[in-house]
């Protein structure tokens, strides 16, 4: 047999390697992991997720995690991969993870905005690409819609741009983009199952809760704050890093059309945006030697939220 080089979780990987990694994880864990294709990008790439859990034959609760909705935030796909490895490893020895994987399925999308991610790998001048790669409307020569402004959650009302050249261009209509449609359809058709919707970004070291629109307050705002603060405490214990918890208007600025707001409006109770390291020293170009600590602390925070949701 040919010895396969071990996957390096502490380097950034191009899309082709991440796709290969997904296949490898499925092959190595056939009883726990399956790959589901649930949409196409603008450039017709297949969007896939890993479904991870024990096949009990019963109806199960579910956890959503997506990474890489913004192309340049490379630590996010690295985190999704680390997260998958950690829960599969924990399953082997940790009775709590065994219990959680019996009761819940984890749906993890390592790279949602695949076209943008590939573009950000193309050369130095495209490294900081954020949006997807769909062309603008007639008369506008720029490319890309901000997928985290394109969801059907008070779409186009605040914290967005209607200029297709801007970083926060919200698209022609709510849900105009195939990547946003894919998440909407997949999660929307199973919304009663999902306890958590975790969407992973960088940077800023924040745990953001709904809503991004300042006129609306989540019905469980107090509980979300409590859980978010517990997650920030868990994060701090790992490497001493400080994460700020709150809604985006309270912490930074308001926005509309985010996937987190949409998922909360669908009735999913525990919805958070993670903004991973750092605080701006390196920004989107977080050095590879910080991948490990960034993932370790974020794993601890995510697990705090997931465990709370499971036990509730």
Which residue among 13, 45, 70, 213 contacts Zn ion (CB under 5 A)? 70
Binding segment for ligand ING (CB under 6 A), chosen from 80-88, 108-116, 119-127, 246-254, is 246-254
**Alpha-helix residue ranges (DSSP H) falling in 5-140:** 15-28, 75-93, 95-103, 114-120
Whether 162 and 125 have beta carbons less than 8 Å apart is answered as no
**Of Zn ion, ligand ING, none, which one does residue 275 interact with (CB within 5 to 8 Å by kind)?**
ligand ING
Binding segment for ligand ING (CB under 6 A), chosen from 25-33, 131-139, 251-259, 261-269, is 251-259
Query: Rounded to the nearest 5°, which phi and psi values hold at 53?
Result: 170, 170
Whether 129 and 138 have beta carbons less than 8 Å apart is answered as no
Nearer to ligand ING (CB atom), residue 132 or residue 148: 148
| Closest separation in Å from C-beta 67 to ligand ING | 12
| Closest separation in Å from C-beta 37 to ligand ING | 25
Q: How many CB atoms lie within 10 A of CB 262?
A: 28
Nearer to ligand ING (CB atom), residue 101 or residue 180: 180
**Alpha-helix residue ranges (DSSP H) falling in 110-190:** 114-120, 178-188
Specify the DSSP element, H or E, that contains 168: none
Whether 273 and 197 have beta carbons less than 8 Å apart is answered as no
Whether 17 and 5 have beta carbons less than 8 Å apart is answered as no
Does residue number 275 form part of the binding site for ligand ING (CB under 6 A)?
A: yes
Collapsing DSSP to helix, strand or coil, 92 comes out as helix
**Of ligand ING, Zn ion, none, which one does residue 248 interact with (CB within 5 to 8 Å by kind)?**
ligand ING
Active-site residue, selected from the candidate residues 179, 275, 297, 304: 275
Give residue for tokens 């991973």: 276
Quick one: DSSP state of residue 142?
-
Residues in region 83-122 near ligand ING by CB under 6 A: none
Nearer to Zn ion (CB atom), residue 54 or residue 206: 206
Quick one: DSSP state of residue 279?
S
Structure token digits, residue 251: 């912490």
Binding segment for ligand ING (CB under 6 A), chosen from 116-124, 182-190, 252-260, 291-299, is 252-260
Which residue among 19, 109, 247, 248 contacts ligand ING (CB under 6 A)? 248
Chain centre distance of CA 93 = 26
CA neighbor of 183 nearest in space, from 99, 243, 252, 268: 268
Which residue among 19, 81, 255, 263 contacts ligand ING (CB under 6 A)? 255
Q: What is the C-alpha to C-alpha distance for residues 279 and 257, in angstroms, rounded to an integer?
A: 24
Which residue among 148, 150, 205, 263 contacts ligand ING (CB under 6 A)? 148
Does residue number 149 form part of the binding site for Zn ion (CB under 5 A)?
A: no
Q: What is the C-alpha to C-alpha distance for residues 29 and 64, in angstroms, rounded to an integer?
A: 19
Residue 304 catalytic?
Answer: no
Structure token digits, residue 95: 């009775």
Residues in region 209-268 near Zn ion by CB under 5 A: none
Binding segment for Zn ion (CB under 5 A), chosen from 34-42, 63-71, 109-117, 138-146, is 63-71
| Closest separation in Å from C-beta 296 to ligand ING | 21
Q: Site residues (CB under 6 A) for ligand ING?
A: 70, 148, 201, 208, 212, 248, 252-253, 255, 258, 273, 275
Active site members: 275
Q: Site residues (CB under 5 A) for Zn ion?
A: 70, 201
């Amino acid at each position: 047999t040919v010895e396969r080089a071990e996957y390096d979780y502490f380097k950034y990987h191009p899309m082709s390697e991440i796709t290969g990694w997904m296949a490898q994880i499925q092959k190595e864990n056939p009883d726990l992991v399956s790959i589901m294709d649930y949409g196409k990008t603008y450039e017709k790439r297949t969007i896939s997720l890993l479904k991870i859990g024990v096949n009990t034959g019963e109806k199960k609760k579910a956890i959503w995690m997506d990474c890489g909705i913004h192309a340049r935030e490379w630590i996010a796909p690295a985190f999704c991969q680390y997260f998958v490895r950690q829960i599969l490893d924990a399953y082997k020895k940790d009775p709590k993870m065994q219990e959680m994987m019996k009761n819940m399925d984890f749906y993890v999308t390592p790279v949602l905005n695949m076209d943008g991610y590939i573009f950000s790998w193309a050369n130095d001048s495209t490294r900081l690409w954020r949006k997807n790669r769909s062309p603008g409307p007639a008369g506008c020569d720029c490319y890309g819609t901000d997928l985290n402004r394109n969801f059907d959650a008070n779409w186009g009302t605040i914290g967005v741009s209607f200029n297709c050249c801007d970083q926060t261009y919200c698209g022609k209509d709510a849900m105009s983009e195939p990547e946003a449609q894919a998440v909407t359809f997949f999660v929307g058709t199973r919304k009663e199952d999902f306890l958590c919707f975790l969407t992973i970004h960088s940077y800023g070291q924040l745990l953001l809760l709904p809503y991004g629109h300042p006129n609306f307050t989540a019905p469980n705002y107090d509980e979300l704050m409590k859980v978010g603060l517990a997650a920030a405490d868990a994060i701090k214990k790992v490497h001493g890093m400080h994460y700020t918890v709150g809604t985006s208007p309270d912490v930074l600025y308001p926005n509309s059309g985010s996937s987190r707001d949409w998922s909360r409006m669908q009735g999913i109770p525990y919805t958070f945006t993670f903004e991973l390291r750092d605080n701006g020293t390196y920004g989107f170009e977080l050095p590879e030697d910080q991948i490990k600590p960034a993932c370790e602390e974020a794993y601890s925070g995510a697990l705090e939220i997931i465990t709370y949701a499971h036990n509730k």
